[in-house]
Amino acid sequence: MKVAVVGTGAVGSATALSLVERGGTCREIVLLDRDTARADGVAADLRYAAPLSPTVDVRSGGYDDLADAALVVLTAGVNEKTGGATDRSDPKGRLRLLETNAQVFADIVPQVVAVAPQAVLMVVTDPPDPLADLTRCLAGHERVFSTGTLIDSLRFRVQLADRLRVRPRDVQALVVGEHGTSEVLLWSSASVGGILVTDLLAHDGRSPADIRGEVEGDIRYANIAIIEGTGASQYGIGAVSARLVEAVLRDERAVLPVAAYSAAHQVTLSLSSVLGAGGVQQSHEPAMTSEEHAALDKSVRVLREAAERALAIGAA
């Protein structure tokens, strides 16, 4: 199968590398960028690594080369550092990039759909959820989803595992809502081996409220901490993107916190989603406390306002 990555900046390049390293996910990877020399360079670099993995062809190209692509990964646009979204005190967070990146998507999505009308479209560019709403509108079909809060949920698991001194893979923890500052960490259901995390933290010798505040800060602003050290948050989201491509192409029906349009909430947001052929096949709202429900309602309002702005830009 053919997969295309539109945008070969830090995230697009990391996604392409992860696709090559996972091996067997796809047979062909096409890289596109408005900077064709960059796309050519990234493709050439990856081609020299490809022989270490199961057979995969990596090449650069134009929109015409997207014909017959099964899935298109959209990573084009400005990142947090370039777009000025690295202030921890700014409640907008990634949403500060919306206007600029909505204009980028208004240009590229129609070109993608014109040559690959059957492709599933996965939005990675920040802010991914309102951009997925815009992509869905521009594409005219439902085979659209964003990476949502999967990366946030992984960060939640890692942070909890560090404090509990266990393996992150043994921690069950979800983040829902926006991939952004209004995201909702579901503490009430976070567990390790069937034991609630809140019960385990109560025996840590520190105030659970203090630990909770510390963990939430580390997760909500993890991207900023990474950017301050490296200039771009790329490897984690690149690995996440490749994993999601795999789930779609293999029709895994994997249950993951990714974002798709919810008719109930009338906006794209992350819930417990069943991901397989065609994208998100079902979405379910996990069990929440009244406090978590209220936080999710707030996140929905934030996302609806952002989606309205994105759609207005796309219609202009």
Could you write out the three-class secondary structure of 187-228?
HHHCEECCEEHHHHHCCCCCCHHHHHHHHHHHHHCHHHHHHH
293 classed as catalytic: no
What the block records as the tokens of 29 is: 């990877």
Give the Cα separation of 8 and 16 in Å (integer): 8
Give the Cα separation of 278 and 248 in Å (integer): 7
Give the Cα separation of 199 and 225 in Å (integer): 29
- SS3 label, residue 254: strand
Find, among 297, 288, 280, 274, the residue nearest to 132 by Cα. 280
Give the Cα separation of 181 and 219 in Å (integer): 10
Angle at 149 between CA 247 and CA 146, to 5 degrees: 55
Of 141, 179, 203, 284, the catalytic one is 179
Enzyme catalytic residues: 179
